[in-house]
Amino acid sequence: MEIDQYLGVFIEESKEHLQALNQNLLELEKQPENIGVVNEIFRSAHTLKGMSATMGYQDLANLTHQMENVLDAIRNQQIKINPDILDIVFDAVDSLEEMVLDIESGGAGTKEVSELVSQLAAIESGEAPLQAAAAVAEEPVSDTSGLILDEFELAVLRESEEKGFQNFYTKVTLREDCMLKAARVYMVFEVLESLGEVVKSNPDVSQLEDEAFDLTFEVLLVTQEPKELIEEKVLKVSEIDAVSIQNFFIDTYKHIQDEGQEEVTASVDEKKVEETTIEKKAQQSNKTIRVNIERLDILMNLFEELVIDRGRLEQIADDVKHPELHETVERMARISGDLQSIVLTMRMVSIDQVFNRFPRMVRQLAKDLGKKIDLQIEGAETELDRTVIDEIGDPLVHLIRNSLDHGVETPEVRRELGKPETGTIKLKAYHSGNHVFIDITDDGAGINRKKVTEKAINNGLITKEQAAIMNDNQVFSLIMQSGFSTADTISDISGRGVGLDVVRNTIESLGGTITINSEEGKGSIFSIELPLTLSIISVLLVEIQNEKYAVPLSSIIETAIIPKADIMHVHNQAVIDFRGRVVPLVSLKEVFQVPEVKEETDYYSVVIIKKGDKSAGLIVDGFIGQQEIVLKSLGNYLTEIFAISGATILGDGQVALIIDSNALIK
Amino acid sequence: MAEEIVQDVKVIVFQLKNEEYAVPVTQVGSIEKMEHITRVPNTESFIKGVINMRGVVTPIVDLRSRLGLEETPVDENTRIIIVDLDDTSMGLIVDAANDVVDIPVDKIEEAPQVIGAINVDYIDGVVKLEDRLVILLDLRKVLKFHEIEAIKSIES
Non-local CB neighbours of A401 within 8 Å, separated by 6+ positions: A365, A493, A494
Rounded to an integer, what distance in angstroms lies between the CA atom of residue A638 and that of residue A655?
Answer: 14
A471 is catalytic: no
What pLDDT, in 10s, does the model give residues A6-36?
777 788 888 888 888 888 888 888 887 777 8
Instruction: Give the lowest-confidence range in A389-403, A491-505, B137-151.
Output: A491-505
Torsion sign across C-alpha atoms B53, A646, A353, A45 = positive
Which secondary structure element, helix H or strand E, spans residue A608, and what is its range?
Answer: strand A603-611
Q: How many CB atoms sit inside 10 A of residue B146's CB? A: 11
Residue whose C-alpha is closest to residue A60's, from A110, A25, A18:
A110
Pick the CATH number of A536-664 from 2.40.50.180, 3.30.479.30, 1.10.10.10, 3.30.360.10: 2.40.50.180
What pLDDT band is residue B91 in, cutting at 50, 70 and 90?
very high
For A612-628, the three-class secondary structure string (H helix, E strand, C coil) is CCEEEEEEECEEEEEEE
Rounded to an integer, what distance in angstroms lies between the CA atom of residue B96 and that of residue A295?
Answer: 34
A46 is catalytic: yes
What pLDDT, in 10s, does the model give residues A466-503?
778 888 877 887 777 766 655 544 444 444 445 677 78
Kindly report the average pLDDT of chain A as a whole number: 78
Residue whose C-alpha is closest to residue A237's, from A170, A169, A178:
A178
Torsion sign across C-alpha atoms A356, A360, A361, A365 = positive
Domain that holds residue B142: 8-155
Residues of A in contact with B56 (CB under 8 A): 301, 632, 635
Q: How many CB atoms sit inside 10 A of residue A255's CB? A: 13
Q: What percent of chain A has pLDDT over 70?
A: 86
Best residue in A340, A587, A638, A639 to probe B by mutation, most B CBs within 10 Å?
A638
Task: Single out the catalytic residue among A27, A33, A40, A68.
Answer: A68
Looking at residue B113, its pLDDT comes to 65
B1 domain-assigned: no
Q: Amino acid identity of A91? A: D
What pLDDT band is residue B60 in, cutting at 50, 70 and 90?
very high
Helix (H, G, I), strand (E, B) or coil at A571: coil
Do A588 and A637 touch, CB atoms closer than 8 A? no
What pLDDT band is residue B82 in, cutting at 50, 70 and 90?
very high
A391 is catalytic: no
Task: Single out the catalytic residue among A65, A402, A406, A662.
Answer: A402
Looking at residue A496, its pLDDT comes to 42
What pLDDT, in 10s, does the model give residues A136-178?
333 333 333 446 677 777 777 777 777 777 788 888 888 877 7
CA atoms within 13 A of residue A278's CA, in its CB half-sphere: 8
B2 domain-assigned: no
What pLDDT band is residue A257 in, cutting at 50, 70 and 90?
low
Question: Nearest-CA residue of chain A relative to B91?
Answer: A637
Q: Please name the member of B38, B87, B89 whose beta carbon is closest to the beta carbon of A657.
A: B38
Rounded to an integer, what distance in angstroms lies between the CA atom of residue A100 and that of residue A109?
Answer: 6
Whether B94 shows a pLDDT value over 60: the answer reads yes
Looking at residue B59, its pLDDT comes to 92
ipTM score assigned to the predicted complex: 0.83
Q: Please name the member of A300, A592, A647 whose beta carbon is closest to the beta carbon of B57.
A: A647
**Domain count of the fold of chain B:** 1
Best residue in B34, B42, B47, B156 to probe A by mutation, most A CBs within 10 Å?
B42
What pLDDT, in 10s, does the model give residues A578-596?
888 889 999 999 999 888 8
User: pTM to 2 decimals?
Assistant: 0.51
CATH class of A352-531: alpha beta
Rounded to an integer, what distance in angstroms lies between the CA atom of residue A178 and that of residue A472?
Answer: 78
Residue whose C-alpha is closest to residue A312's, from A276, A282, A336:
A336
Pick the CATH number of A4-126 from 1.20.120.160, 3.40.50.620, 1.10.10.10, 2.40.50.140: 1.20.120.160
Whether A324 shows a pLDDT value over 80: the answer reads yes
Q: How many CB atoms sit inside 10 A of residue A651's CB? A: 11
**DSSP states along A227-267:** HHHHHHHHHHSTTEEEEEEEE--HHHHHHHHHHHHHHHHHH
B111 domain-assigned: yes
Domain extent listing, chain A:
4-126, 142-255, 293-347, 352-531, 536-664
Residue whose C-alpha is closest to residue A538's, from A429, A625, A652, A432:
A625
CA dist A68 to A43, A63, A124, A128, A244, Å?
9, 8, 10, 16, 22
Task: Single out the catalytic residue among A46, A98, A153, A454.
Answer: A46
Rounded to an integer, what distance in angstroms lies between the CA atom of residue B64 and that of residue A467?
Answer: 62
Looking at residue A26, its pLDDT comes to 83
Do A409 and A425 touch, CB atoms closer than 8 A? no
CATH class of A142-255: alpha beta
Do A663 and A643 touch, CB atoms closer than 8 A? yes
Residues of A in contact with B66 (CB under 8 A): none
Note the Cα A26 to chain centre separation in Å: 12
- Given an 8 Å threshold on Cβ–Cβ distance, is A301 in contact with B58? no
What pLDDT, in 10s, does the model give residues A326-341?
899 889 888 887 887 7
Rounded to an integer, what distance in angstroms lies between the CA atom of residue A101 and that of residue B109?
Answer: 50
Beta bridge partners of B109: B126
What pLDDT, in 10s, does the model give residues B21-51?
999 999 999 999 998 999 999 888 888 999 9
Q: Give the CATH number for residue B38.
A: 2.40.50.180
Looking at residue A299, its pLDDT comes to 86
Rounded to an integer, what distance in angstroms lies between the CA atom of residue B123 and that of residue B110?
Answer: 9
Beta bridge partners of A514: A528
Do A443 and A523 touch, CB atoms closer than 8 A? yes
Do B13 and B19 touch, CB atoms closer than 8 A? no
What pLDDT band is residue B81 in, cutting at 50, 70 and 90?
very high
Whether A280 shows a pLDDT value over 90: the answer reads no
